[in-house]
Chain A
Amino acid sequence: MKSSNTFLRYVSRGLVYLLAILMALWVLLPIYLIGVAAFSEQLAVYKYPRPFFPSPFSTETMVFFLKSTGVAASVRSSVVVALITLSLSTLIGAPAGYAIARFVFRGRETFRLLVVSTRAFPIVILSIPLAVSFIEWGMYDSVYSLALMHTALALPFTILITSSVFASVPRDLEEAAMTLGCSQLQAFVRVSLPLALPGLAAATLFTFVLSWNEVFAAVILTVRNRTLPALVLTVLDVSPLPYRFAGGFFMLAPSLIFMLFIRKYLFNLWGKVTK
């Protein structure tokens, strides 16, 4: 009886691991193959079967991609747009999230719903009127207006993530700080903010990645000042295969690196908050 229980437990654990491995492979294998192609010689891309290691290792493909016309400028645009988006949406979204988490005010639930419902409007439908308005206001084809657009897209997420982050910091802690000599603002800065920081960092990185990867609004709203995804998308079908692999790798690299960084930070401090 006992041994059959242990056996079942091993089997079910094994199945869970198997499933996890399959899911990981599903995501990681294509990424890996893209990476291999990006760091092989250009001609290696056409080899079949696909080599599993870049042999010989070469930065030729990446250099080719980065030196292609417009890539450097569009990377710069992408970074600028992403940074502005990140700053704006954190500046606007974090206080809104804090308000939802901490204060009971008239219409709080409605506000929360409203925030989510903005995501119900497909960007496809909004894009044409937006483009027209931007042209009328003389804001068309600018990284700043695209950043505004991305901020609008990111805000609902920022607000909801930060509100749940702040909600996870017990109110008691702020109150304790207030009885120990803090004003409401000092209590926030000295207690809530440090505890919310990992969550806020996650929200900002999420925003960064969202903006970095966003392609539709970027294509619609810019012509000469293309962001990287917009540029890659418009030239994709006329580009050689190595260009596509290198471009793909270059675009997903930041997300990967950020996730890696944030992961440790997240686990460390979230454990403390929830304990």
Chain B
Amino acid sequence: MAEIRLDNIRKTFGKIVATRDVSLTVHDTEFMVLLGPSGCGKTTLLRGIAGLEQIDSGRVFIGDKDVTDLPSRKRRIAMVFQSYAVFPHLTVYENIAFGLRMQRLPDSEVKKRVHSSAELLQITDLLDRFPAKVSGGQRQRVAVARAIAVQAEVLLMDEPLSNLDALLRLEMRAELKRLLKDVKSTVVYVTHDQVEALSLGDRIAVMKDGEILQCDTPLQVYDNPASEFIGGFIGNPPMNFLEVQLSDNAVMAGGASFTPPPAVRAALGNGARVALGIRAENIVAESVRTDGALSGAVLVVEPLGSHNLLTVQVGGERVKVNAHADSRFEPGQRIWLKFAPEKIRWMNRDTGRAIS
């Protein structure tokens, strides 16, 4: 059992606060992704769990044990570094065996475990080589094999795919997912790539400015972003936001009226600025006027194969819309957009947070 519990972790570098009293619980065998833009404190948090960063205050628990004051080697963790950190003076075999030798396992056991990890990562034929003689993608595999070989209860990964080229990254992403399902470690995975986060995580903790803004399943984070920032950061294209005005019993956005939930009306009644959020795929574009649709002018049409991405000018704002791949919209054309009502999210612009 290796649940990770972070309790008010604070770390500052000089005047910069890297993590502001962050608390987070990662369940046993869960795959937790720390997602955020660079400088948001996600790597600091990970290094705090690893024991590579001395935290200023707060406690770190791994499997009910307070490890805050323990060095890395006593935390029963394994880590994959962004730079891979493969030892250049050791063969691939000895790299993978490194952690096992530190545990003073008998040679036969070392051999068995090195070979099984190498097989998992399909690098068995590289075992005798030195890291300088293998490619970047293979070095990455060595780093993962080395971390897996020690069979730690907690596996920490710091942007492990960010140094790979785009194709290799896709391949490795799928492979990591397959692999880590079998390994049954508790995983904390740091990335700034929202696609990686969505595809890998059991849960995603979205971070910004040293705080966790939202921690939920990928679907929830994508579908119900807790703030305008998250809606914009996750998903491609980012979520659309349209400012709305109160008008009698309804609110107006882009010339169409919507019936808001009471909380939104209350917020507007209190003088708050409110935005309506909707994702590109939840908008239907029509070339003829339909009831309750917003009218707009097509600015850009980007055929992406699976669909066409439209940029539409609606009043003073631009809206991204996914249109069918067979659609024949032209720039300059007047079109009507219909929002799926159940997919509309409401944001308080003054606090930046979702209204629920």
Question: Which A residues are in CB contact (< 8 Å) with B81?
Answer: 172, 175-176
- What is the interface of chain A mostly: helix, strand, loop, or mixed? helix
| Binary CB contact string for chain B from 74 to 96 against chain A (1 if under 8 A, 0 otherwise) | 00011101010101110000000
A101 to B143 CA separation, bound complex (whole angstroms): 25
| Binary CB contact string for chain A from 177 to 217 against chain B (1 if under 8 A, 0 otherwise) | 11111111010000100110000000000000000000000
| Binary CB contact string for chain B from 170 to 198 against chain A (1 if under 8 A, 0 otherwise) | 00000000000000000000000000000
When the two chains form the complex, which single residue of A170, A172, A182, A273 contacts B73, counting CB atoms closer than 8 Å? A182
A186 to B73 CA separation, bound complex (whole angstroms): 11
Question: Which B residues are in CB contact (< 8 Å) with A273?
Answer: 88
Question: Which A residues are in CB contact (< 8 Å) with B102?
Answer: 180-182, 186
Q: Are A170 and B132 in contact (CB under 8 A)?
A: no
Q: Are A180 and B150 in contact (CB under 8 A)?
A: yes
CB of B61 within 8 Å of the partner chain: no
Q: Are B71 and A180 in contact (CB under 8 A)?
A: no
Question: Which A residues are in CB contact (< 8 Å) with B130?
Answer: 272
Question: Which B residues are in CB contact (< 8 Å) with A182?
Answer: 73, 102
Question: Which A residues are in CB contact (< 8 Å) with B323?
Answer: none
CB of A253 within 8 Å of the partner chain: no
Question: Which A residues are in CB contact (< 8 Å) with B71?
Answer: 178, 183-184
How many contacts between A and B, using CB within 8 angstroms? 68
Question: Which A residues are in CB contact (< 8 Å) with B103?
Answer: 181
B77's closest neighbor in chain A, by CB? A179
CB of B98 within 8 Å of the partner chain: yes
Name the interface size band of chain A.
20 to 34
Q: Are B132 and A275 in contact (CB under 8 A)?
A: yes
Give, as a whole number of angstroms, the nearest-CB distance from B197 to chain A. 23
CB within 8 Å of B: which A251-274 residues: 269, 271-273
CB of A173 within 8 Å of the partner chain: yes
Residue among B77, B78, B87 with most chain A CB within 10 A: B87
CB within 8 Å of B: which A159-181 residues: 170, 172-173, 175-181
CB of B99 within 8 Å of the partner chain: yes
When the two chains form the complex, which single residue of B78, B85, B88, B132 contacts A175, counting CB atoms closer than 8 Å? B85
Question: Which B residues are in CB contact (< 8 Å) with A181?
Answer: 73, 99, 102-103, 150
Q: Are A180 and B146 in contact (CB under 8 A)?
A: yes
Q: Are B79 and A179 in contact (CB under 8 A)?
A: yes
Question: Which A residues are in CB contact (< 8 Å) with B156?
Answer: 179
A194 to B88 CA separation, bound complex (whole angstroms): 10
Q: Are B72 and A195 in contact (CB under 8 A)?
A: no
- When A175-B85, A183-B73 are in contact, do A271 and B98 touch as well, CB less than 8 Å? no
Residue among A170, A179, A183 with most chain B CB within 10 A: A179
- When A177-B98, A179-B78, A272-B132 are in contact, do A172 and B85 touch as well, CB less than 8 Å? yes
Q: Are A191 and B72 in contact (CB under 8 A)?
A: no
- When A178-B73, A179-B72, A179-B73 are in contact, do A173 and B85 touch as well, CB less than 8 Å? yes
CB of B340 within 8 Å of the partner chain: no
- When A172-B81, A271-B132, A272-B132 are in contact, do A179 and B87 touch as well, CB less than 8 Å? no
B79's closest neighbor in chain A, by CB? A179
Question: Which B residues are in CB contact (< 8 Å) with A180?
Answer: 73, 78, 98-99, 102, 146, 150
Q: Are B52 and A191 in contact (CB under 8 A)?
A: no
Question: Which A residues are in CB contact (< 8 Å) with B85?
Answer: 170, 172-173, 175-176
Q: Would you give 30 A-B contacts (Cβ < 8 Å), ordered by A?
A: A172-B81, A172-B85, A173-B88, A175-B72, A175-B79, A175-B85, A176-B85, A176-B87, A178-B71, A178-B72, A179-B51, A179-B52, A179-B73, A179-B77, A180-B73, A180-B146, A180-B150, A181-B99, A181-B102, A181-B103, A184-B71, A186-B102, A194-B89, A271-B132, A272-B88, A272-B89, A272-B132, A275-B88, A275-B131, A275-B132
Chain B residues near A (Cβ < 8 Å): 50-52, 71-73, 77-79, 81, 83, 85, 87-89, 98-99, 102-103, 130-132, 146, 150, 156
List the 3 shortest-distance A-B pairs measured between CB atoms, nearest first. Answer: A181-B102, A180-B99, A176-B85
- New A-B contacts (11) at CB < 8 Å, excluding given A175-B50, A181-B99, A272-B131: A170-B83, A172-B81, A176-B81, A176-B85, A179-B72, A179-B156, A180-B73, A180-B99, A182-B73, A184-B71, A275-B88
